[in-house]
Amino acid sequence: MKRKYIPDLTRQMSQCEANYHRIMKLLPDLDSCDEREFKVSWPEHQAYLRLRVDERFKYTSTLLVSHSYEKSSPWLDSPGLVVRLYHDAAMAEVICMQKRKQLSGVYPYPNRNMHQPDEKVQLNEYLGEWLSECLSHGYSMETVFSG
């Protein structure tokens, strides 16, 4: 008998906190910056990560995060992520993929859209990997001034 997926909330919150701090390192001027693009280089290839501010409010901001490769494939589009920043809690959470409805915390499996039971966790980890790569191997395509 297959066991039901039970989310690990402590792990998810830790991932969201780490992603928030990574984003703030990449966008120290979040209040005044509308968009920033980073070039990430590895020995085999290069990619671009774009962070675009979609909404700003007192306690939250929404970013659109996308990436592309220098040699892109016509077969596979990279998923754009919609990320909500909660400034009072210092957390960043992937709330959906661009052009799709908001993600659920848990999905039954199988389901009509073939979401993984832990789809939201996987997307937050995916965001964390991109942000970490950007911090380790990337540079901003423009000068950044932190206030």
- CA 88 to chain CA centroid, nearest Å: 19
Which two tokens mark 15?
């991932």
Cβ 92 vs Cβ 126: under 8 Å: no
pLDDT 10s per residue in the chain (147 long)?
667 777 788 999 999 999 999 999 999 999 999 999 999 887 777 888 999 999 999 999 999 999 887 766 555 566 789 999 999 999 999 998 766 666 666 666 666 766 666 778 888 999 999 999 999 988 787 766 555
Measured distance CA(10)–CA(66) in Å, rounded: 27
Instruction: Give the global pTM.
Output: 0.81
AA letter at 116: Q
Helix (H) or strand (E) holding 64: strand 60-69
